[in-house]
Structure 1
Amino acid sequence: MDFIQQAFKGKFATWKYIIPCLGFFGLMALNYAVIKYLDLDVDEMMKEQIESSGANNVLFQNLIIFLIFLIGLFLWVKFVHKQSITSLTTARHKIDWKRIFFSFTLWGFITVAMTFYAYHSTPEDFVWNFNFDKFIVLAIIAILLVPFQTSFEEYFFRGYLMQGLGVLAKNKWLPLIVTSVVFGLMHGANPEVDKLGPIIMVYYIGTGLFLGIMTLMDDGLELALGFHAANNLITALLVTADWTAFQTDSILVDVSEPSAGFDVLVPVFVIFPILLFIFAKKYKWSNWKDRLFGQVEDITVDELSEIGNVK
């Protein structure tokens, strides 16, 4: 059984997927509609929140919501779908934590290296912001809660939606494309979009596509979970700006004029393909055409029983 077919290990029904999707996307749409209808200045609101409560408190409040979302998704999958969290995570018999840590370490190292290079090549673009007391609090909050934020996004998009859409569409390419585009559009309300323009959506959608390809090729979420956690956690700790979604008491503050160009396109068209090559070699990926564009076959209860009895 491949990753998408893991959905058959639960009690599959279309309505079970519709309710969480309506709930989550409904909240996102309502939030976006309120901002547009009331013509709210999100940047100004965030600055006022940070000034009154502090960056760490604001970060905590924003992240704790995703912990609630993740718990809710897990409970829905377990008790409504009657599907195990393991089968939502991977086609392997158990979650491969080594894969998570390898992906986390690899992307974490690359992120630190790129930040270090940027700081030393254009030091005028950064301000040293390190405050030991505030940074320790930030580190505790980020290490404890950022993985819940990134894990919810992975479990919801690359796990729950990928499996549900794949079973409904009977193919793999449609859920890959849809989850990638929707993942990108979900970030459309981020302040980065206003500052950098629509081109930033190439990065968001491209990142979703990259994570989706990893998930299908590796038959599991582990690599995507590690990458996403490293991306958000290291960024939150290392560098922030007053126009980004994550504004933290990080070590550095980027004070350069916001602009989007090669720094948006290079990750999608250069770095991500290199990472896929590294993962492909390490985990011996093959049969790309079928894994990304193949059909999803139904699996009966009897076939599930047979698979379960195979030692």
Structure 2
Amino acid sequence: MTKFLENSSQGNNKWYIYMVSFFFMLGGNVIGSIPLIVAMFYFNSDMNFESASIEGRPTLTLALMLLTFIATLGMLLIAIKYLHKKRLNDVLTGRPSFDWSRMFYGIKIWFAVMAVSSVISVIISPEDVELIFDLGKFVPLFFVVILMVPIQAATEEVIFRAYYMQGMTMISRNRWLPLLVTSIIFGLLHIGNPEVEEFGVAIMMPQYISMGLFFGIMTLMDDGSELAIGMHAINNVFLALFFTHDSSALKTDAVFRIKEVNPEYEMIFMLIQFTIVLFILSRKYKWKDWSRLYAKVIMPKEPEAIEEL
């Protein structure tokens, strides 16, 4: 018996509440952007704001950018508690309480996958990697990344793989449509990333959408978002600390700079990683009923949310 999607029937779920919560999050994003905008006016000598960065201060830029996610998450939590009148735990997981051990296992396994993949990439193309480690710059970056990047990743997971996936379930009454739609939206919201401008929509959008599907499949099969939150967090932490490149959305004072990026190779490698990890997780957590990805959702009670639009 799964409970994660079925939990969507809890609380006040009228369709317009989801619309109001969207504007709550949008307002949080705007408020959280104010410190970055002020800093750009203060530090940027040429008043060029196209890159949304602070000249010569990548770590400060990163910290202020991450504030927008913290503010967005805060507004969503307010909406969940006071508008939906839901428990946060019921939005995050189908278990009685959030399973921290699962989240930390997700961190461990995805860290191992990324570490091995990085070593292989360096061995194959050592000429594409440049050591740029600077202790004085890395230390403040380390604390910003460790403290703030997991919140950024968790924010995306709570929004897409929990809150809106549950909300869409009450309309679709199945599992595959919320999985597909939230993954596509997750991908489209990254369309403004520098990587898309550099390499093109055709190659980058499938990467973002595939990552959304990967996290969504884990969430549905495991009946909760713990694994996805852990993996998403360590994915972004690892990249921010160890690798940067000129077209990266997270330009940081990392340990290495990648000179040349092959997006086609990365796409193939990423799909192989996803397949291996899903296989390992399916064995560890005994995922046998793969109908969780497409079966009809039976609500424990008729939700009051489904009103005619």
Normalized against structure 2, the TM-score is what? Answer: 0.86
CA contact (8 A) 1:77 1:84 kept: yes
How far does the alpha carbon of each residue in 1:61-99 deviate from its partner, in whole angstroms, 9 at most, with x for none? 111110111111111101111111111110000111111
2:99 is the counterpart of 1:96 = yes
Look up the match of 1:305. none
Q: Which amino acid aligns with 1:3?
A: F
Look up the match of 1:67. 70
Spell out the pairing of 1:231-246 with structure 2 (5 A cutoff).
231-246=235-250
Look up the match of 2:163. 160
Tell me by how many angstroms 1:172 deviates: 0.9
Superposition RMSD on alpha carbons, in Å? Answer: 2.2
Tell me by how many angstroms 1:24 deviates: 5.1
Structure 1 residues 70 and 231, CA gap change in structure 2 (3 angstroms): same
Q: 1:260 & 1:209 partners in 2: Cα distance?
A: 18
Secondary structure of 1:294's match? coil
**For this pair of structures, how many residues does the alignment match?**
284
CA contact (8 A) 1:203 1:265 kept: no
Q: Which amino acid aligns with 1:10?
A: G
Structure 1 residue corresponding to 2:152, chosen from 149, 152, 174: 149
Q: Give runs of ≥4 in structure 1 deviating > 6 Å.
A: 25-28
Q: 1:116 & 1:16 partners in 2: Cα distance?
A: 47
CA contact (8 A) 2:174 2:294 kept: yes
Tell me by how many angstroms 1:23 deviates: 5.8
* Gap regions ≥5 residues in structure 2: 34-47, 303-309
Structure 2 residue corresponding to 1:211, chosen from 194, 215, 221: 215
Q: 2:111 & 2:49 partners in 1: Cα distance?
A: 31
Q: 2:136 & 2:125 partners in 1: Cα distance?
A: 27
Look up the match of 2:306. none
Structure 1 residue corresponding to 2:228, chosen from 212, 224, 228: 224
Q: 1:44 & 1:118 partners in 2: Cα distance?
A: 34
Look up the match of 1:261. 264
Look up the match of 1:293. 294
Higher helix proportion, which one? 1
Range with greater deviation from structure 2 (227-236 or 193-202):
193-202
Tell me by how many angstroms 1:22 deviates: 5.2
CA contact (8 A) 1:4 1:166 kept: yes
Look up the match of 2:5. 4
CA contact (8 A) 2:8 2:169 kept: no
CA contact (8 A) 2:24 2:75 kept: no
How far does the alpha carbon of each residue in 1:93-133 deviate from its partner, in whole angstroms, 9 at most, with x for none? 01111110011111112112222222233222122111112
Q: 1:84 & 1:166 partners in 2: Cα distance?
A: 18
Q: 1:249 & 1:50 partners in 2: Cα distance?
A: 14
* Gap regions ≥5 residues in structure 1: 32-42, 302-311
Q: 2:112 & 2:269 partners in 1: Cα distance?
A: 17
Tell me by how many angstroms 1:8 deviates: 1.8
